[in-house]
Amino acid sequence: MELELKRSGRTARVETLGAELVSYRDEGDREYIWSGDPAYWPGRNPLLFPIVGGLKDGKIYVKGKEVSMERHGFARRREFAVTGRGEDWAELTLEQDEDTLALYPWPFRLTVRQQLTDGGFSTAVTVTNTGSEPMPFCLGAHTAFRCPLEPGEAFADYDIVFPQREICPTLLPDANGLDWNRALPCLEDADTLPLSYRWFDEMDTLIFRGLKSQSVRLVSRRSGRGVEMAFPGWPVLAFWTIAHKQAPYLCIEPWHGCPAVVGEGPELADKAFCITLAPGESRTLDYQVKTL
């Protein structure tokens, strides 16, 4: 089911499947979210829970039992219930069932609030441990923005711009997972990274940890248009577009978790940046997007 949000001439659409915000249009009816064209990538804005990225060999241990889980977890494939609704916001909730418990044996409540704001939209995700044991989880966003936004522009006309100068290499994934000791110089006392498909053709994903900045802009050097995402409280930021297809989108991805890391323990709770909630405890992470 699809829900429409409206505010001051701007609109958004939210799907109950995955609780995704799949469209955002400004006052001039300009679309900012990627369309999900399957010729490139059918995703648009999936929520990553209870893992981020892939597992080594697609498997992990939970409570000592080996389970298989697809990349980025199961929440993006699940139907959420609408638990709150206003003209410019929607709240959607997912809880455990027999299928999720077979993969992830903890009772939980996952609540997503999608809301239009004065300059864009915000997404807030609250995870609650509704069970009686400590509950580990990872969480991530995967918002795909149209890039380029304007006719006549190219992907390479855009920059990734941080508010602070950064010295931060990108982590290098390989068949064995991320290795904290392997990284490629990328941001070297710089606040701007010009977009190029070569980054993604060679490395698939740009992954940064330890950034000083808590926001980032994707902006055209030609038109000045783009988006700014604020991601306070997320320790990892990734950028991705599908390799070798010159696709017209870029994903900006705040993560509280990581794909498989070389040397990590076998349990879900051992994963980098994993959060563990006590019984009855909740944790909210959010990000805000405004248009430029």
Tell me the pLDDT tens digit for each residue of 107-156.
Answer: 999 999 999 999 999 999 999 999 999 999 999 999 999 999 999 999 99
**Tell me, what's the pLDDT at 122?**
98
Q: pLDDT (tens digit, 9 = 90+) per residue, 79-96?
A: 999 999 999 999 999 999
Find out whether 56 and 260 touch, Cβ atoms under 8 Å: yes
Find out whether 239 and 247 touch, Cβ atoms under 8 Å: no
Residue reference for tokens 């711009």: 161
Q: What would the mean pLDDT of 150-166 be, rounded to a whole number?
A: 97
Burial 63-89 (b: 16+ CB within 10 A, else e): eeeebebeebbbbbebebeeeeeeebb
Q: Establish how many alpha carbons lie within 13 A of residue 62's alpha carbon, considering only the half-sphere containing its beta carbon.
A: 19
- The token pair at 45 is 């804005």
Burial 7-31 (b: 16+ CB within 10 A, else e): beebbbbbbbebbbbbbbbbeeeee
Rounded Cα gap, residues 258 and 236, in angstroms: 8
Q: How many CB atoms lie within 10 A of CB 149?
A: 22
**Tell me, what's the pLDDT at 65?**
82
3-class DSSP assignment, residue 99:
helix
pLDDT at 11 over 90: yes
**Tell me, what's the pLDDT at 110?**
98
Rounded Cα gap, residues 11 and 218, in angstroms: 21
Q: What percent of the chain has pLDDT over 90?
A: 84
**Tell me, what's the pLDDT at 172?**
83
pLDDT at 30 over 80: yes
Q: What would the mean pLDDT of 33-45 be, rounded to a whole number?
A: 97
Please give the distance of CA 23 from its chain centroid, rounded to a whole number. Answer: 15
pLDDT at 289 over 90: yes
For the chain, the average pLDDT equals 95
Q: What would the mean pLDDT of 191-220 be, rounded to a whole number?
A: 95
Residue reference for tokens 């977890």: 73
**Tell me, what's the pLDDT at 290?**
97
Q: What percent of the chain has pLDDT over 70?
A: 100
Q: Establish how many alpha carbons lie within 13 A of residue 129's alpha carbon, considering only the half-sphere containing its beta carbon.
A: 18
Rounded Cα gap, residues 53 and 63, in angstroms: 20
- The token pair at 6 is 């409206």
> Which segment of 4-13, 67-76, 188-197 scores lowest on mean pLDDT?
67-76
Residues 6+ apart with CB under 8 A from 262: 176, 177, 178, 179, 180
Query: How much is the pTM?
Result: 0.96
Where in 179-232 does DSSP place strands (E)?
Answer: 183-194, 205-209, 215-220, 226-230
**Tell me, what's the pLDDT at 173?**
77
- Helical segments of 161-275, H only: 197-203
Q: How many CB atoms lie within 10 A of CB 127?
A: 21
Q: pLDDT (tens digit, 9 = 90+) per residue, 171-184?
A: 887 777 888 888 88
Rounded Cα gap, residues 129 and 110, in angstroms: 9
Rounded Cα gap, residues 67 and 292, in angstroms: 44
